[in-house]
Structure 1
């Protein structure tokens, strides 16, 4: 890579990573609901309808309440995108893992649940900070990729595993996965995409957001 370009990129990556890490450190409750965003910039344009966005927010709020009621003592992160729910983090036992999934499947408007909970001790504050930094680096690298619409990708990281969500084409899914894998600190990339055709993408971009 050109040395001048590499030096130019470094401040952007550092700034975005620092912003995400600061956000994570200010909200370190055992239960984390919703995917982190960088300064709100990635929600300026959304491929979901406004109705789907509202439903996703409602799902995450209801999920927060249900997981607290279960009292698993785990560190559970729930992220909903287009009514597809990703649940990540850690719980103490396999029955806890199953109970969380069953509870989320019963929530109104949930299409499916991708259960990525690990049965193990909760991640430490240091682990979560590293995950937040990894997410920030992935988002910054997506922003820098001129052939990607970074706002279309939601990034969630748990235990070094990066989960990618969004309404994307197969081409975009492959490209985003390759970009995420190239980021230092990423142990694995898991795709939780809604894959659409190029024709569907054109219709999605062209329609009013309602």
Structure 2
């Protein structure tokens, strides 16, 4: 039986509010945003090792600091790192700044690869940003409600109606999460920035009762832009 929608949304909303407050404290007035992994209970269900999670946080912080020094406040860039693969979303004023942002982040220690999804156009309105936040919440809530996908295995980022999925997941999980995202109201496009692992690897990553999760070996990154989502009924 499908779980009620409201509790899942409430759980996500509470986490989102906390992350938003933390993000505001870190970024102050600058338009740079860092993805930041949730700590505490969320660490236990993350398929990255605790060391990699801390490393991802360090990458996001160092990248944000370097971008402030390099491009200042003339760009609106979000830096999200998952297993040392960095996703760049947001807006820049020209192609030169787009390349400069990527070059700057590529120079950050421990960055393994970069997916540059920066758009060359003006910054989104407050209305657009609010809509993106709502879309992210809907996708996360739908994943939590689904019985055939582990929603906590995915990091969801939304920019201008495009949903980006990050995580270490099986092909089955990737396809299901894509389907859920594509059928979420407001989603225009889904881009998969995923590392595909086997079902055997997934079973090995699942912690047994009373034991710690084993260290995860890096999987090959898979970036798979999807066709625009079909209109929601």
Q: Same fold (TM over 0.5)?
A: yes
Q: Give the TM-score range, shorter chain.
A: 0.7 to 0.9
Give the match for residue 208 of structure 1.
Answer: 213
Partner of 2:218: none
Cα distance in 1 between the residues matched to 2:138 and 2:8: 6
In the alignment, what sits opposite 2:149? 148
Partner Cα distance (1:90, 1:196) in 2: 32
Runs of 5+ consecutive residues of structure 1 not aligned to the other structure: none
TM-score, normalised to structure 1, is: 0.86
Q: Is the 8 A contact 1:35 1:156 kept in 2?
A: no
Cα offset, 1:170, TM superposition:
0.7
Q: Does 1:131 align with 2:136?
A: no
Shift of 1:129: 1.2
Structural RMSD (CA): 2.5
The higher-RCO structure (CA 8 Å, 6+ apart) is 1
CA distance in 2, matches of 1:133, 1:61: 25
Q: Which residue of 2 aligns with 1:31?
A: 32
Is residue 97 of structure 2 the alignment partner of residue 96 of structure 1? Answer: yes
Deviation (angstroms), 1:86: 0.3
SS class of match (2:101): helix
Q: CA separation in 2, counterparts of 1:139 and 1:57? A: 21
Change (3 A) 1:49 1:20: closer
Which structure 1 residue ranges, 4+ long, deviate > 6 Å from structure 2?
none
Secondary structure of the residue aligned to 2:122 is coil
Gaps (5+ residues) in structure 2? 216-233
TM-score when normalising by structure 2: 0.78
Does structure 1 retain, via aligned residues, the 8 Å contact 2:162–2:191? Answer: yes
What residue number does 1:188 align with? 189
Shift of the 32–188 alpha-carbon distance from structure 1 to 2, 3 Å rule, reads same
Question: Which residue number in structure 1 is paired with residue 49 of structure 2?
Answer: 49
